[in-house]
Amino acid sequence: MAAHRLAAGSADRYMTPKITDSSLYGRQIPAVATVIGRKREFANVVTLTLRVDEKTAADTNFTPGQFNMLYAFGVGEAAISISDLPDNKGGIVHTIRGAGAISNALTFLKKGDALGLRGPFGAGWPAPRSRDVVIIAGGLGLAPLRPFINQLMQKRSEYRSITLLYGAREPQTLMFERDLRRWKERYNVQTYITVDSANAAWTGNVGLVTSLLDGLTIDCSNTAAFVCGPEIMMRHAAESLCGVGIPKNKIWLSMERNMKCAIGHCGHCQFGPAFVCKDGPVFQYDHIRSNMFVKEL
């Protein structure tokens, strides 16, 4: 998800649809949401569970891999991936790393605080059409994959094998450890974890997440792969997957760019002929591979 640039005319699939196409766009006018749950994952990373004001009744249905625009009142709006399936009360879950004024303001929200919410937007992870699934996550990239993995668990019998390769900077920055254990122990997900830098207590793998592919037995003719993490990691992971024989059209990546409008009008997130907010953030690798090697695109 053959190295090639988009053929003439292929950019048509990236043309901006009419704004009335509700299948492509979520709620345009922000709903008022309230923080009903807050969990600090580590350092500056927080998971918020939100409930939308019943008066505005935003749709909480979404495809795993999509994102919402969250508005911190008086500060601004940012695109944040949805990081879990809705709970039984319809709670909407987002995991946020404080890295700038807006994301920091969102991570400082407490239970009972209000914020604005637009969405959901974008293209999510497609349902695998292969019996085997490989998932590669780097750092906070596990968050957009988490609802997708939980969705796969609901249909676990449909897949022969599911393999998760997950890399973090340090043991203390591993995300969703309870989920990692549950996926492995209850659903027989082959789980391999590595860290870039280990402490004295760490007994697991040390190294890049792509190194976990070494020695992995993959039925390349019947495997779909899904990758999310830092862009350089995704590029190397996708090329490694291609190197072991998985076709480029069976690899999907979740891209990240600065987003403003979320509907493909402002151009902030343009990526070659595509817009990450509208045509992505999940892309098939063969559609974007050539652009992955263009510096500063």
Confidence of residue 55 (pLDDT cuts 50, 70, 90): low
**What does the buried/exposed string (b/e) look like for 134-162 if buried means 16 or more CB atoms within 10 Å of the residue's CB?**
bbbbbbbbbbbbbbbbbbbbeeeeebebb
Write out the DSSP string of 118-136: EEEESB-PPPP-SSEEEEE
- In this structure, what token pair is assigned to residue 66? 């999509």
Say whether both 137 and 269 belong to one domain.
Answer: yes
Asked if 97 and 45 count as a contact pair (C-beta separation under 8 A), the reply is: yes
User: Among 6-15, 77-86, 161-170, 287-296, where is mean pLDDT lowest?
Assistant: 6-15
Side-chain half-sphere of 165: how many Cα atoms within 13 Å?
27
Q: Is residue 95 part of a domain?
A: yes
Beta bridge partners of 132: 161, 223
Determine which of 98-102, 153-157, 163-167, 264-268 has the lowest per-residue pLDDT on average: 264-268
Q: Are residues 148 and 117 part of one domain?
A: no
Q: Kindly tell me if the per-residue pLDDT of 287 is higher than 90.
A: yes
Helix%, strand%, coil% for the chain, nearest 5 = 25, 30, 40
Q: What is the pLDDT of residues 175-209, one digit of tens each?
A: 999 999 999 999 999 999 999 999 989 999 999 99
Report helix, strand or coil for 53. Answer: coil
pLDDT at 13 over 80: no
pTM score: 0.88
pLDDT in tens, 154-175: 999 999 999 999 999 999 999 9
Task: Judge if 49 and 105 occupy the same domain.
Answer: yes
Mark whether 203 and 277 lie in a shared domain.
yes
Q: For residue 114, give the nearest of 160, 175, 70 by alpha carbon.
A: 70
- Could you give the CA distance from residue 212 to residue 206 in angstroms, rounded to a whole number? 10
* 59 has pLDDT over 70: no
In a domain, 278, yes or no: yes
Domain assignment present for 86 = yes
CATH number (domain holding residue 37):
2.40.30.10
Boundary-marking domain end, from 121, 145, 169: 121
Contact (Cβ atoms closer than 8 angstroms) between residue 102 and residue 75: yes
94, 121, 148 — which closes off a domain? 121
142 and 225 belong to one structural domain: yes
Look at residues 72, 95, 121 and tell me which one is the last residue of a structural domain: 121
User: Is 266 in a helix, a strand, or coil?
Assistant: coil
Q: Is residue 4 part of a domain?
A: no
The candidate with the shortest Cα–Cα distance to 120, out of 52, 41, 38, 37, is: 52
Are 168 and 238 members of one domain? yes
Mean pLDDT of the chain: 88
Q: Are residues 157 and 245 in the same domain?
A: yes
- pLDDT tens by residue, 214-260: 878 899 999 999 999 999 999 999 999 999 999 999 999 999 988 88
Picking from 101, 146, 135, 117, the residue whose alpha carbon sits closest to that of residue 234 is 135
Task: Examine the domain organization and report whether 138 and 219 are in the same domain.
Answer: yes
For residues 279 and 222, membership in a common domain is answered with yes
Q: Give SS3 for 50.
A: strand
Q: In sequence order, what are the beta bridge partners of 56?
A: none
> Do 117 and 177 fall within a single domain?
no
In a domain, 19, yes or no: no
* Cα(13)–Cα(6) distance, integer angstroms: 11
Task: Tally helices (H) and strands (E) across the chain.
Answer: 6, 15
Q: Specify whether 168 is located in the same domain as 87.
A: no
Whether residue 211 is contained in a domain is answered as yes
The yes-or-no verdict on residue 5 having pLDDT over 60 is no
Q: Which residues span the domain enclosing 257? A: 132-292
Return the pLDDT at 65: 97
The reply to whether 126 falls in a domain is no
Tell me which amino acid residue 272 is: G
- Residue 269 in contact with residue 281, Cβ under 8 Å? no
Q: What is the torsional sign of CA 150, 156, 160, 161?
A: positive
Tally of domains in the chain: 2
In a domain, 21, yes or no: no
> Within this chain, do residues 281 and 145 fall inside the same structural domain, yes or no?
yes
- The answer, yes or no, to whether residue 142 has pLDDT greater than 90, is yes
Ordered DSSP codes for 163-226: EEEEEESSGGG---HHHHHHHHHHH--EEEEEESS--TT--SEES-GGGGGTT----GGGEEEE
Q: Residue 222's domain is classified under what CATH number?
A: 3.40.50.80
Per-residue pLDDT for 291 more than 70?
yes
